Amino acid sequence: MKVLVVESTSRGNESFSNRLAQSVLQKLKEKNLKLEVSTRNLDKDPVLDSEAAISELKSAEVVIIGVPMHNFSIPIVLKAWIDQVVRPGQSFRYGASGPEGLIRGKKAYLAIASGGVYSEGPMSAYDFTEPYLKAVLGFIGISDLTTFRIEGVDVPGLKDIAFEKAVESIRI
C-alpha cells in the first residue's frame, strides 16, 4: 500500500503535527506490513510543479497530512501545495450536475496540532483548519477523511498530556 506523508511545519522532529502523523503511520504499519512510504516535506521542499504534485498525490492510496494550526487555519506552505493540487481538468471538473472530484479512492488522515483547544469549547468556532481541509480535499474527491488532533500544546495543565492523549485517540 502506497502512503504519502505530507509535512507542513518548519519544526522538524520537535513538531507535534509531524509526531502525530508518524504515530498514525505507525498504527498503519501495525495493521499492514507492506507499506511503501514517501514523504513530502513542504517546508524544506515547497511544491512548485503542479503536475508533479498531482501525480504524487494520485499515486498514493493513503495520504497522511501533518498540519500545524497557524492563525486558526493552515500554514502557507500547505496552502501553496493545495493551490498546485486543485486544478480544473486534473483534480476536479465541472460535470452536468456540478463539480466532480477526480482524485478518487483515497483514504486521508489529518494530524492537526494546535496550541489551544478547538475540538470542543469556546474556541471551536475559530477552527478553520479542519473545515477548510475537509472542504477542499472533498472538492477534489478525497472525502474519506479522518482527523486526529493534538491540542492544547501551549496550555498549562494540558500540554504535558497532550501527546499521549492524541496518540491514544488514534483509531485506524
Ligand X SMILES: Cc1cc2nc3c(=O)[nH]c(=O)nc-3n(C[C@H](O)[C@H](O)[C@H](O)COP(=O)(O)O)c2cc1C
Task: Enumerate binding residues for ligand X (CB under 6 A).
Answer: 9, 11, 15-18, 68-72, 113-116, 153
Residue 116 or 138: which CB sits closer to ligand X?
A: 116
CB of 68 to ligand X, least distance (A): 3
> Which of 73/143 has CB closer to ligand X?
73
**Residue (of 63, 39, 70) closest to 132 by Cα position:** 70
Instruction: Report d(CA 110, CA 133) in Å as an integer.
Output: 9
**Nearer Cβ to ligand X, position 92 or 128?**
128
Taking the least distance from each CB to ligand X, the nearer of 63 and 66 is 66
Q: How far is the CB of 93 from ligand X (least distance, A)?
A: 34
Q: What is the C-alpha separation between 104 and 142, in angstroms, rounded?
A: 6
Bridge partner list, 62: 3, 107
In the complex, the smallest distance separating the C-beta of residue 32 from ligand X, rounded to whole angstroms, is 25
Other CB atoms within a 10 A radius of the CB of residue 106 amount to: 20
* Min dist. Cβ of residue 70 to ligand X (A): 4
SS3 category, 52: helix
CB of 101 to ligand X, least distance (A): 27
Is residue 22 within 8 A of residue 79, CB to CB? The reply is: no
Q: Which of the 8 DSSP states describes residue 90? A: T
Nearer of residues 57 and 111 to ligand X, judged by Cβ: 111
Grid coordinates of 85: 493540487
